[in-house]
Each structure stands twice: as C-alpha cells, then as structure tokens.
Amino acid sequence: MSNTHVLSRFTRRHLRHIQHRGLVPQLPSADVDIPLSDHQVGSIWNNVQGDVFVLFPKVAENFIFFTISNAAQFKQDLKGFTPSSSLDTVEKLVKISSAKEQGAWVNGLVQSQIAFSRAGLNVLGLKDHIQDLRFDTRPMLADMKYLGDSGPWYTPFVEGGLHGVFTIAASSPDECDKATADLKAKFATSIVTTDRMTLEGRIRPAPNKGHEHFGFKDGVSQPALRGLVEPHPGQIQADAGVVIMGYPGDPVLDDPAAPQRPAWTRDGSLLVFRELEQDVVEFDAYLKEQGKHWRDFVHGADVQPPLTDAEGANLFGAQMVGRWKSGAPIAKAHFRDDQQLADNPDQVNNFDYSVQGVPGPTDRFCPFTAHTRKTMPRNLNPFMIPKFLESVAMVRGGIPYGPEVTQQERDTGASLKDGIHERGLLFVSYQSSLDQGFVRQSVPFANNDYFPLTSFSPVKHGQDPIIGAPAPPPVQAQASGVVPPTGEVTVRITNRVGESVDVAGFASPVPIEPTAAQPFFVTSRGGEYFFVPSVSLVKQIAGL
C-alpha cells in the first residue's frame, strides 16, 4: 500500500457503516491492484467535483439554474464560491459512518457544485470545443423529439438559454434552503434566476426513504470506477475515463487519431439533468389491474404458495423495472421480494440474466424490456462484448421531488395536475460522453424495440416500460400480392408520381384481436446538458 495515496489516512473502519451505498471509496490496499498512479488518483479525489462519481450524501438537494447577466461580476463573485471536491465527499461519508457507529445523526453537512452549459462556457470565454459533438453543437431542447419527449416542457427548460446550474445538497431541508438563499445573495448582481428556476429534491419520508415515488429503491446499481470505487461482487465496473475526462476509458483520449479535448477539461464530466414527472396513482392502478393475471406472466411456473393479487401486482411491477421495490433483482428473486437479499451489498448486484439449462439470452425470469435490463444489460455475449457495455456506464444521482400522494388522489384514481402536487424524479447522470452514456442508454437502448440484442436476426421486444415512449402508429397499406406470413420481406412503396422506395425487414403476424397499447407513466418536463468543471478550473475562471 502506498503512503502517498490521497486516501491512505482512512481505513475500512472509517467507512464500515456506509457499505450499503452503491458507491464506496476504494481505499489503498496491498491486495488491490489500482490501475491509476497515485498522482492520477490524487488529482481525481482533489480536483473532481464531489457529486460526480461518489455522489453527495443528502436528505435535500436544490438545483439553481441561472443565466449570467454580467460575466466580469460573475467571475468576481465566483471567488467566494468553493465547490466540494470528491475528497470533501469522502470526509463527509466518514463523519456519517462515525455518527452511525454511535447511533447519532450528523447535521450541518452542506455540499455544493457548479456546472455550465455550452452557452455558459462561451459567455465565460471558454469557447474551445470539448470534443463532445452533442454538447458542443446543441442544447437538450434541440434533442427533445429525438429523446422521445412528448412534453410539454416546463420552466426553466422550455425557454432555452440556460448558462449553468448550482447544486446544493445538505443533511436537512432547512440547511439546504439556507445555503441556497446565501448563494443567491452572493451572486445577486451577476446572474439571473427565479424561484421557478430552482428545483427542490427531497428524500421521501420513512418508510420510503431511499425509494423513488413509484416505490422502488433508487441507486442500487452504480458503476464502480476502477481504482476509485470499491466494487461489490457483481457490481458493474468501468474505467475512470468513462465518467471523468482525461483518463483511460474517455473515448476521446482513447482515440489518438481524434481531435483531443482542451487541457482545461481534465477532471471534468458531463452532467445530464432531467425533470421526470411520475403519474404514481395511475401506475399503482395499472399494477393492481395486471396483478390479477399473474399466472399469465410466470411462464407456467408452479409458484407455491400461489400469489395473491397484491403479490401479483408487485411481481408485475418488478418485471417492468427488473428489481423489486426493495432493490432485490428479479433475476435472483423470481416471484417474491427478498428483503434479506436486497439488504446484502455483496449479493444485490451479484447476478446476470442467464438461466441454467437455457442457452443464450433468455427472458425466463426477467423480461428483456425490464428497465434495468434495457439501460444497463448484462451478459449479452456474443452479441455485445463486456467492454462495450462498460463504456455505456454512467453514475446516476437523482432525488425525488414533490409531495407524497394524497388521499384525494387515491380516492379519485387520478394524479393532481395543479402545479402543486406533481411529483417525480430530478434525474442526474455523469459521463464523459453524452452519446456513449445517457443518449445511448435512452435512445438506442431504452427506446429501441429491438434492444437488447438476443439473436443474430432482429427480435422485437418492445420499449422500456419506465422511460420508453409510445411508438408511432404503423403505416397502413394494402398489399398488391401475397402477404408473407414470416421471414424477411421487402415492401416497395410508390407515390402518386411513380417514385418508389424499398423498405426491408422481417414480417411478423398481427394478432387478430387488438391488444391494449403499452401505457407510460413518466413524462419528461425538460432538462439540459452541462459540463462539470474541475475544482481547479472553477478557481481559474474566478482568477484565483
């Protein structure tokens, strides 16, 4: 073990009461081969902002979106802003672990972060392209349709033109709100922001703490960056550069023939923010209705004792998500939730989707369309190699927003849409490449009916039922010849002036009886792409 390692002053005892976290700092050890030099590790822990790969511990989190009204004054005001580093986050985790050992609660933990849009970087004079084509050429608003958003988008995203976002995370809502007010006062003469440009996230009250509004435990599966995060058994691992720019795994750095990023991007990351509204009452009603038919979706298994309708509803929800509400994977807990499995950090991610006696990919217990299987698939050999799947990994740091469901909503069976009772998830992800991370998980994976790849011939599975989007209606046409029942087919379409195009694909029979369309219960209300600068770059912008 190297004494020069930045975390050498900590031991496992310092962190033993936070082992349930999806992201636990990797401490130096003679038994651990760290693929980064001590200098690289030190730079990352000291210079990468604190939420990027280890995540702020928080009860409350505010996102203050803004535009810069006076660049010179903003740089002056920035001198009084100190972003939290990743090492700061580790020190707070140690405090939390120590307090838990004594059965106490830690107050006064406040963390801060800043990130800029492409427009914001331009205003500050950082006009060099960061060599991420999507970030460098368009805001998320331009990608609204491509991402499958049906909208409408809300303020502060629908207007476009955001320059940045401050993140304030704290151990209580009061501490978070006070720090937010102090920050707004500090930048009062250099930025424009309003109450509607501040989005408030809050951990749900017990017994739903750590669960999003549909009831599922959030943040169970996170990528362990090699040399930085201690991997639990089965946890997806990825090279540091998949999330942090300037290290192996960064697709730009790994391609020496490509134009390289500016030096100031090192230790930076790309932040994706999304406001995702959830129709909880309707989701619960859908599960309840489907739960009565649980025998139809257990593939003929002899489930003993038989499931109740309520258990069937929970099973149907678990098949939509890929995990039970406890966080236990359905690939291991097939028909009933398993809290003991969910509570074991060495087991909750230690699985794949293979089934003994079944060659190749199978949906025997977990549907191919399950949210977790769509967005971060496992064991897709020979159709996708593990290294490619690793490259898609991103760190997710979302937090719920909005109130709990009211009795009025339960009684009427409809979620209130009055500007007060809306609820959902403030989604955050970190990656070094938008197209490799968030966009790939969202469009080619989640919104792609033919993903995951399970055969050398295309097989249609359907959309991700959580973040997918309704497919456009099929084009109706009359055939002039024999309709092939199955197999490869080419359809020639001719318009009124005689112009023709050929559409090739695979035929599949249409059921005679119409089936209900897949309902969706998550609506994007907007978002933006941001660059999270290193701590040293924040100081450089401030002239320090």
Write out the catalytic residue numbers: 218
Largest CA distance in the chain: 81
Cis, bond preceding 382 (omega within 30 deg of 0): yes
Residue corresponding to tokens 């310092």: 14
For residue 420, what are its two tokens?
């007060």
DSSP-assigned letters across all residues of 227-260:
TTBPPPTT--EE-GGGTSTTSTT-TTTT-TTSPP
Encoded tokens for 13: 């005892």
Structure tokens at 295: 């025998």
Q: Quick one: 195 exposed, middle or buried, by C-beta within 10 A (0-12, 13-18, 19+)? A: exposed
Run of H or E residues at 535: helix 535-542
Residue of 192, 191, 194, 219 whose CA lies nearest to 204: 219
- Report d(CA 243, CA 531) in Å as an integer: 12
Determine the Cα–Cα distance for residues 479 and 492; give it in Å rounded to an integer: 10
CA pair distance 447, 106, nearest whole angstrom: 42
Q: 291, exposed or middle or buried, with CB in 10 Å at 0-12, 13-18, 19+?
A: buried
Helix orientation angle between 86-101 and 38-47, rounded to the nearest 10 degrees: 80
Residues 6+ apart with CB under 8 A from 398: 201, 212, 218, 219, 425, 426, 427, 428
User: 454, 360 in Cβ contact below 8 A?
Assistant: yes
Residues with Cβ within 8 Å of residue 109, at least 6 apart in sequence:
57, 58, 92, 95, 96, 170, 171, 175
Report which residue type is found at 10. Answer: F
CB-CB contact of 169 with 59 (8 Å):
no
Compute the half-sphere exposure of residue 390: CA atoms within 13 Å on the CB side of its CA: 19
Are 326 and 20 in contact, with CB atoms under 8 Å apart? no
Write down the number of H helices and E strands in the chain. Answer: 15, 14
